[in-house]
Amino acid sequence: MSSNKEVIYIDMDGVVANFPKKWEAMYGKSLDLYHIPPTPPGFYRDLELMPGSYIAVEFLCKYFDVYFLSTAEWDNISSWSDKRIWIEEKFGKLAHKRLILSHDKSLHIGKYLIDDRAIESNLNFKGKFIHFGSAQFPYWASVIDFIKEDNKELFSNKELP
């Protein structure tokens, strides 16, 4: 850990990177988050940012030790380097040396994991799991509101957006 701040892990695909939009444009059908076939090489290089994600990450970095925790495709070797390049291009110094690629997110310990998939390793995360895109957390604003409410002591006496 690089500071005395608590750790937040943020997934990439479907949370900060608009994977579903590109998937639907390429394949003409909705993405099934629980049965994702391999993507072609280069798929991750030009994903758009999810609405509100940059501002949310910038805000969270002021108060937490933020890491991007993503799973790269085993069968698409370019996904490993593509995710690294994408995160640097989209988040710059906010993401410098803050990308972790892991196939089991339950191995990591932090205050929060923000992810769009309610799979076993995410549900077993050692901290609070925030299910991005769910009814409770449909957008970044709802995630930020929850984190502010859950950390009142951290945000008391501070101006908030």
**Active-site residue among 11, 82, 115, 116?**
11
3-state SS, residue 18: coil
Is 46 catalytic? The answer is no
Q: In this structure, what token pair is assigned to residue 148?
A: 């502010």
**Active-site residue among 13, 82, 115, 116?**
13
Which of 12, 20, 34 lies closest to 100 in space, CA to CA?
12
Is 150 catalytic? The answer is no
- Exposed / middle / buried, residue 146 (Cβ in 10 Å: 0-12, 13-18, 19+): middle
CA atoms of 145 and 17, how far apart (whole Å): 21
Catalytic positions, written as ranges = 11, 13
